Chain A
C-alpha cells in the first residue's frame, strides 16, 4: 500500500503531474501579470501548455560538434532535479511528500542543478552566444547562490532545524518571519529571481546581445524540458519562500494566496527595471545581497545566543 502511495506522491500528487500543471499555471500568471504591468494583453490561459506541447513535438536539431549524450541528458537532468525538489517542499500547503533531517540543504542543491545544467548545456555547444551565455549563467550562479542559501538558513536557524517541514511548522506557530527577518526575505526573493534569470537578472539570456544565451542551440524537446524545469523551479522557490517567511503553509488556500502574492511582487519587480549588466549583477550580489544576508544571520545568531525568543 505504501508503495502505491509513494508512486501516487511521485507521479500524481503532490509531485509529478500536479507540479507540472501547477507550474504551467504559475507561468501563465507570471506572464499575464508582467504583460498587464506593461500595458499589453498577455497570453491566454492555456498558452504555456500550448507552448510546451509545441516544443515537444518540434524537430530537435542537434548541432555539429556537441556531445550528444550531454546535449540530450542535461535538459532531463535539469527537469528531474526541479521535480525532485518539489517533493521536499510543502507543495499545495500539505506536508511534503518526503523529508528527512537536512532536506533543506538537498533542496537548495537540487534547485541549483538547473543553472548548472544550463551552464553545461551552453558550454557543450560551439555556438558563441551559448558560450558567452553559459559563462554569464555560471558567473551569476556564483554571485546569488551564497546569499540565497544564507537567506534560507535564517528561518531554519530560528526554528532550530534543517528539515523543511519542521521549519514550516515553526513558521505557522510564530510571528511571520518576514517581520522578524525582513532582510533575509528580501535577499531570498531577489535571489530566486536571479536563479530563474528573470529580468533584471536576465543578462545570461539577454536577447539583444547573445540571442538566447546558453540555450540558443536548443529547439524542441530539450528546450521544452528546460522551460518546464524553470517553471517548476519558480513554483518550488515561491513555495519555499512563503513557507519560510510568510507564516508557513498549512492548507491549499494559504498556498495559493501566499505564493500568488509573492508572484505579484516578482512580476512587478520584473517590469520595473532595466537589465543589469553581468558585472553589475555580480557587484550587486556581493556588495549588497551577501552583506545583507550575513548581517541578518549574525543578528539572528547573536539573538539566539542571548536567548531572545523569535
Chain B
C-alpha cells in the first residue's frame, strides 16, 4: 500500500478529532488539541499503523514569559511515512493528557517533555527521569525564557536515590555505578530469591544539555556538537543532522560525498556491533569471546583512523558534503581489513549458534514476541530479532542506500540468541555494502557550498543508527542558529520492551537482557548546565573555556 493511500486512510479515521491536515512528501501533519489528542491517537492505533517514534516539543515564544505557545508534535512512523499530530498548548498553563495507556513507549517521551518543557502531562508517574534530582522545580531548560541564573537554585532531595522499599520486597539496585554498566544508569530490580518481580529505571545521569546547547550554536558548530552525543555512533548523529539541515536549505550533496558518508556509516555499524558482541559476551561471563571480538574490532578502528585521522569522532561531515575522500590506496586497506573481519565474523557466528554453554544463556532467554515488539515500539536490531522489519535503510533508503540496496536481516526467534544472530548477520551485510560502494564509487566533487543561514521551516531526519532508528527534528526560524533540535535516540525506544520482559527472569539473565538492546546511556540522556553540588554555581560556556585553557596551561595540575 502506498504512503498516499495510507495517509488518506488515516485522515479518514481521525477526521472527527482533527481540525486541519496537510500532506507533503512522506509527511502528514494533523492539527488537533489537548482534549482531542487521546481519541485521535486511539483512532490511529485502531488502524494498526506504525509506531510512536518521538514526541517533540518546542517553545514558539520569546523571552517574555506570558506570550507564545508550546507546540507538541507526536510523530508516528511507518517505513518512510511520518504522521504527526500537532497540539498547541498555551505557555502559561501547558497541559496534555498522557497517551501512555495507548502507547506504552510514550511514557519516556512524555517524561522528557514534562521535565525539559514543563508540559503538565496528566497521568504520568512523578518520578524524574532526565534531570538531576536537585534540579530546581519549575525551571524548564528547553523553554525560551530559560536563563542560567534560574538554574542556579537547587532542590532539597533526600539522601537516597530511587523509590521507597515496600515491606517484603528485596530490591537489588544496579547503578548508577555498577560493574555491569559501562555508563551510568540506575535500575531497581525487585527480586524474590533469584527471580525478578519488578524492574524500574532511572536515566539522566549523563544529561549534558546538548539540545539546549544546539540552540545557542551556529548550524556549522552543531555538526560537531551532535557528533558528541554518542561515543560509539558519533558519525550517524552528525549525518542525521546534516541531512536534515541540507534538506532545509535545499543543498544537493554530490553523489561521491553521499557514498563516503554511507561507507563511514557502515564502518561505524561494524565497530558498534563488534563492540556490542564483546560487551554482551562479557555479561554472560564469556570473557574469551569478549577479548577476541574486541581485538578484532581494532581492525575497523584502525581503518577509521586511517581514513579520517580519528578513532571515534571522525568528523567526516560538512554541510554540503564530506571532508575526506576514500582513494584507491585507502580503499585497498579497507578491503583487506574487511576480508579479515569477515573470516572472524564467520567464526563468531558459529560460536554464538553452536557453543553449548553460551546457548544455555541465550536460547529462549529474554524473548520479546513479535506483538510485544510491535506494540512497545522497539526498533533496530532488537525489533528485527523479533521479526519486526524496521530498518530505514531498507524502507526509506537515504544517501547511497538508494543505489546500493540493503538486504534486511530478520530473525523470528525473538530471544537473545536471535539478537546475536541478527547483529552478526548485519555485519556480513555491512561488509558486502562497503565492498560494493568501494567498487562503484561515483566520481565527482566531495562538497558543495552551503548557506550560512538556513531558511525558515522544519524537517524530520530519520536514519538507521547501529542501534535502530535515529530521529532528528530540526526547526529553523531563518537565522544562523537552529530554533530547536530534537534528538530521539534508539535506546530510548527499547527500554519499555526491556523492562516488561525482565520480570519473571532470573537475576543472572538481567544484564544480558538489558545489554541485548545495546543500550547507550549517553545517547539517552543528552541535554544542562554544569554545576557542582552544594556550591550552586553555574558556569557559562566562556567560563568553562577559560577554565579549560588555564587548567591545561598549568600542565593539567
Report which A residues bind B (CB closer than 8 A).
37-40, 128-129, 132, 199-200, 202-203, 206-211, 271-280
Contact = CB atoms under 8 A, between A and B. Distances in A.
Contacts of A275: 284-286, 361, 508
Given A38-B292, A128-B171, A208 B282 contact: yes
Contacts, number: 77
B291 A206 contact: no
Interface stretch (B126-134, B173-181, B240-248, B459-467): B173-181
A38 B509 CA distance: 24
B360 interface: yes
B506 interface: yes
Interface string B149-184: 000000000000000000000111100001110000
B295 interface: yes
Contacts of A128: 170-173
A39 B291 CA distance: 7
A273 B357 contact: yes
A209 B361 contact: no
A274 B286 contact: yes
A34 to B, nearest CB: 8
Given A128-B170, A128-B173, A208-B285, A280 B292 contact: no
27 contacts: A38-B291, A39-B292, A40-B291, A129-B172, A132-B191, A132-B507, A199-B287, A202-B285, A203-B508, A207-B180, A208-B179, A208-B180, A208-B283, A209-B507, A211-B179, A271-B288, A272-B288, A272-B357, A273-B357, A273-B358, A274-B286, A274-B357, A275-B284, A275-B286, A277-B360, A277-B508, A278-B194
B502 to A, nearest CB: 13
A37 B289 CA distance: 11
A209 B508 contact: yes
A40 B288 CA distance: 10
In the A-B complex, list the 8 residue pairs whose CB atoms are closest, starting with the nearest: A275-B285, A274-B286, A273-B357, A208-B180, A38-B291, A277-B508, A208-B511, A207-B179
Contacts of A278: 194, 508
Given A207-B179, A209-B510, 20 more contacts: A128-B171, A128-B172, A129-B172, A199-B287, A206-B285, A207-B180, A208-B511, A209-B180, A209-B508, A209-B511, A211-B178, A272-B357, A274-B286, A274-B289, A274-B360, A275-B361, A276-B357, A277-B360, A277-B508, A278-B194
Contacts of B178: 211
A206 B509 CA distance: 11
Contacts of A203: 508
A156 B288 CA distance: 37
Interface in B276-331: 281-289, 291-292, 295
Contacts of B511: 208-209
A272 B284 CA distance: 12
Residue from B170, B173, B361, B511 having most chain A Cβ neighbours under 10 A: B361
B508 A200 contact: no
Interface of B: 170-173, 178-180, 191, 194, 281-289, 291-292, 295, 355, 357-358, 360-361, 506-511
A237 to B, nearest CB: 21
A210 B509 CA distance: 12
Nearest to A275: B285
A217 to B, nearest CB: 15
A279 B505 CA distance: 12
B172 A277 contact: no
Contacts of A211: 178-179
Contacts of B361: 274-275, 277
Residue from B180, B287, B506 having most chain A Cβ neighbours under 10 A: B287
B14 to A, nearest CB: 46
A280 B363 CA distance: 14
A277 B357 contact: no
Residue from A39, A206, A274, A276 having most chain B Cβ neighbours under 10 A: A274
Contacts of A206: 285, 508
Contacts of B287: 38, 199, 271
B506 A277 contact: yes
A228 B293 CA distance: 32
A199 B291 contact: no
A133 to B, nearest CB: 11
A274 B507 CA distance: 16
B358 A274 contact: yes
A203 B283 CA distance: 11
B508 A274 contact: no
Contacts of B291: 38-40
B506 A274 contact: no
Contacts of B292: 38-39
A203 B355 CA distance: 19
Contacts of B172: 128-129, 132, 210
A279 B170 contact: no
B79 to A, nearest CB: 37
A272 B358 CA distance: 10
